[in-house]
Structure 1
Amino acid sequence: MSRQRSMEVIQQSEYVTIGELVRLTDMRYSTLKFYTEEGMISFEQAEHNLTRRYRREESLERIYYIKSLREQGKTIPEIKEILKNN
């Protein structure tokens, strides 16, 4: 098991893991994994170890946008349609 990176390092990194997104957003791992599997958050796959890497800034913006839509009462299908049209 690898050692966790510090928040300072994570906040300056171009790419982060889903676990680091959990730490940055204080959202549940299962929620972020669901958003990923539903195509709501994009990622890149590292070839050497098959780790999913997320662009930190882009992912944070998307996650907070999804969160705001959920707070407005939008359903997942509605949010997926909104994201598709943006």
Structure 2
Amino acid sequence: MNVLEEWTALVCKELGIDPARVDRNAVLDLTRDVAHGVARPAAPLTAYLAGLAQGAGTAAPDVLERLSALAREWEKKATPSSGDA
């Protein structure tokens, strides 16, 4: 077991969450997409907000994928194409 797996297991235990319900790779993909496409500080905030929505029962089943797509679109809009210069 690596450090990330150990930490995830410890936090899940502390929070009373079944680790089998955690899609670690999807969360890491989301935070990567937001950090690179929007801003680094937006990554943990977005993950937290997704967790709040999940806990409130208002998150779509594909919330992580949808938020990743939003971040990728944000990056495209913020990055001028070579024809815009």
TM class by shorter-chain length?
0.3 to 0.5
Greater fraction of residues in helix: 2
TM-score by length of 2: 0.37
Greater fraction of residues in strand: 1
TM-score by length of 1: 0.37
